Structure 1
Amino acid sequence: MNKVLKYTLIVVAVLAVLWAAAFFIKTNSKSSISYETKKPFISSIEKKSVATGKLVPEEEVEIKPQISGIIEKIYLEEGVEVKSGDLIAVIKVVPNEQSLNQASGRVKTAQLALNNVKLEFERNKLLFEKDVISKQEFDNIKLRYDQAQQDVSNAQADYQIIRKGSAGGSSSANTNIRATVSGTILEIPVEEGDQVIESNNFNDGTTIASIADLKKMIFEGKVDEGEVGKLKVGMPLKVSLGAVDDKEFDAKLRFIAPKGVEETGAVQFKIEGDVVVDEGVMIRAGYSANASFILEKKNDVMVLPEALLQFDKNTDKPYVEVAKGDQQFERKDIEIGISDGVNVEILSGLTENDAVKIWNKTEPIKKGDDEEKTTDEE
């Protein structure tokens, strides 16, 4: 009797262990994922690239004074549209003492020479009237007298320019700074009371204002050496501005730099494009911009979503898994062409009837598992 009870208990224990094991396996096993498929399709595909840069005026003119002095009055502000000839500022001339002294000395020297020639002229005039000297000799003396008068006049004019900034001896002692082109004043980097230097052969001079036509803008950017070989002058661009939302401007590539510049280990080439500015849109110089351009385009080719591709760990060559039955797939090596970042061109290895596995699909979370996870977190 004891043996029967003993064997019974052993059988019950074994069954309990088997039941517990089956329950554990059932509750901890994951359901298999049912993979979906997608077929290749015919479409057009474009390979684009983007160049970063900024918008700048096509021509920007700097207004510089022709005489040194101090800014006495500024009449206009930045952002104002001007026409050629409009008065921007007035400069008060402050003469250099050394130059003023030299000019004064030249006036005195010229006056002394004039006085001497005048005496000679008057003396020879009396002799000519008495027919003592010939007319030719008298004409030569008169010529020297006229030249001496002109020398005095020139020396006095130089003295007035240095002293007052005007050959006419204007009492205002200023010079007017006017716009040389029509456009918008971009910048006035000086203030009233600032000292300015004239533009000459040895000095660029102080910039009083910069003017540009904001209706004629160009895009300045840089492209990588791997893409510059695919660009051609005249190709279309699409320019988008960070300051103008949901709007693109048409542009045309006008310049590709023949020499690159190395930046952070990569060679960059400067490009420029003429931008068409729409009426009613306010564009400011220096806006950051991106220009997109089509490097390569193919129409009516077989494409596949790039996310369906897999790559061999050893060769890095692409392949996909094609359905051969219900949830049964086999590997197929393929050859790909250009990509637009979403779809990729299929050159060989697939047909339009092949059903490609969407391999990166994740298993949906069960409601019970989600509730258990939430309870554990709490």
Structure 2
Amino acid sequence: MNKYVKWTLIGLLVLGALWAASFFIKSNSQSITEYETFKPFISSIEMKTVATGKVIPEDEIEIKPQISGIIDKIYLEEGATVKAGELIATIKVVPNEQALYQARGRVNNAKVALSNAELDYNRNKTLFDKGVVSAQDFQNIQLTFNQAKLEVENAQNDYQIILRGSAGGSSSANTYIRATVNGTILEIPVEEGDQVIQSNNFNDGTTIASIADLGKMIFEGQVDEGEVGKLAVGMPLTITLGAVEDKELSAKLKFIAPKGVEEAGAVKFKIEGDVDVNDDFLIRAGYSANASLTLEKKDSIMVIPEALLQFDRDTNKPYVEVATGEQQFERRDIEIGISDGINVEIVSGLEEDDDIKQWNKTEPIKIGDEEEGDGENAE
């Protein structure tokens, strides 16, 4: 039994030694990773930022009534082109009973006063014709009579305005809602039968229509506080619309807000730019848009792919590894300039003929029987 155990242990030791030798040979036979290298090259870099926002009319006018009432009829639709003075809608007046009663009472009082003034005028005219009343006294009586007639007329006009919204058939009556500017009707938020409130010192009034000139549009957006200091009025903008593909509009920055607004923990500043409207297609008010701004641009400078950079853990300064021989590299501290997120400017520390190590090389990804490599040289 002891002999059997002895040979079993020897067999296990032999198998273990063979397995260890096999593992050692296999692990040492793996291929050494070969790092690709890239050379600096001459190119141009634009440092850009993108502001999100929308395209809106430069001026949007809200048409409000000068009298309260009910919408009697709407003559135009949203999207219609109008000229200043064109009729949009009419209002049917619902008079206030107390004001109507007071106006009617004023008319009656004025008529009574007129009747009395007329009697006095007729009596004194007869006496004046006989030479009994002086000319000056008769002129005063005639003036009172004329004033009484005007008071009746004014009271009747006030009564008609309260009752119908206008005195007679005037084309400029408060019941007629007309366009005040040339443009396009963007919105008519009321319908026939809706009650509207007049515009006064205490109330903005009900908006019956909003009108804007779609030929004068602006971009309104926001930029982060870290980039607003690099902007200047007059900078060119490139506008892309979310609703219109493959179309770009030119614009010029005209306003930068002096005060930021905090949103989700970040401070944003409002900007505006005049948009050059293209007649080839219609720009609708409220289109979402992105504005691309070039913050800085340099031409014919030495650059490398930003992915080649490494940063010192202690100083956080950039460096690269430059080839000194076959798969041999040394650290080289460099000074960098602007970056567009893909390439970065090399201010100092490198020459054009230096070979820079791709330090973050990954193993090829196998797809079936094929391998996907790390890509081509960026040069």
TM norm structure 2: 0.89
Name 2:305's counterpart in structure 1. 305
Shift of 1:16: 7.2
Are 1:286 and 2:286 matched, yes or no? yes
SS in structure 2 at match of 1:362: coil
Q: How does 1:214-293 map to 2 (within 5 A)?
A: 214-293=214-293
Q: How does 1:118-197 map to 2 (within 5 A)?
A: 118-168=118-168, 175-197=175-197
In 2 relative to 1, CA 248–216 (structure 1 residues): closer, same or farther, beyond 3 Å?
same
TM norm structure 1: 0.89
Separation in structure 1 between the aligned mates of residue 259 and residue 12 of structure 2, nearest angstrom: 86
In 2 relative to 1, CA 180–13 (structure 1 residues): closer, same or farther, beyond 3 Å?
closer
SS in structure 1 at match of 2:175: strand
Q: How does 1:205-220 map to 2 (within 5 A)?
A: 205-220=205-220
Separation in structure 2 between the aligned mates of residue 67 and residue 367 of structure 1, nearest angstrom: 76
In 2 relative to 1, CA 272–175 (structure 1 residues): closer, same or farther, beyond 3 Å?
same
Are 1:23 and 2:22 matched, yes or no? yes
Shift of 1:221: 1.0
After superposition, the C-alpha distances for 1:166-212 in whole angstroms (9 at most, x for unaligned) are: 21179xx9922121112111111111111011112222111001011
Name 2:83's counterpart in structure 1. 83
Q: What one-letter code is carried by the residue in structure 1 that aligns with 2:251?
A: A
In 2 relative to 1, CA 271–365 (structure 1 residues): closer, same or farther, beyond 3 Å?
closer
SS in structure 1 at match of 2:201: coil
SS in structure 1 at match of 2:245: strand
Shift of 1:85: 2.2
Q: What one-letter code is carried by the residue in structure 1 that aligns with 2:279?
A: E
Percent of pairs identical after alignment? 71
Greater CA drift, 152-161 or 288-297: 288-297
Name 2:375's counterpart in structure 1. none
Q: What one-letter code is carried by the residue in structure 2 that aligns with 1:114?
A: L
Does the 8 Å CA contact 1:161/1:169 hold for their aligned counterparts? no
After superposition, the C-alpha distances for 1:104-152 in whole angstroms (9 at most, x for unaligned) are: 0110111111111111111110111011122122111111111110000
Separation in structure 1 between the aligned mates of residue 109 and residue 334 of structure 2, nearest angstrom: 97
Q: What one-letter code is carried by the residue in structure 1 that aligns with 2:314?
A: N
In 2 relative to 1, CA 367–306 (structure 1 residues): closer, same or farther, beyond 3 Å?
closer
- For structure 2, the residue ranges without an aligned partner over 5 or more in a row are 1-5, 372-379
- Give the alignment's Cα RMSD to 1 decimal: 2.6
- Counting matched residue pairs gives 361
Separation in structure 2 between the aligned mates of residue 299 and residue 154 of structure 1, nearest angstrom: 78
Separation in structure 1 between the aligned mates of residue 75 and residue 98 of structure 2, nearest angstrom: 32
Separation in structure 2 between the aligned mates of residue 212 and residue 368 of structure 1, nearest angstrom: 61
Separation in structure 2 between the aligned mates of residue 295 and residue 368 of structure 1, nearest angstrom: 46
Separation in structure 1 between the aligned mates of residue 206 and residue 99 of structure 2, nearest angstrom: 21
- For structure 1, the residue ranges without an aligned partner over 5 or more in a row are 1-5, 372-378
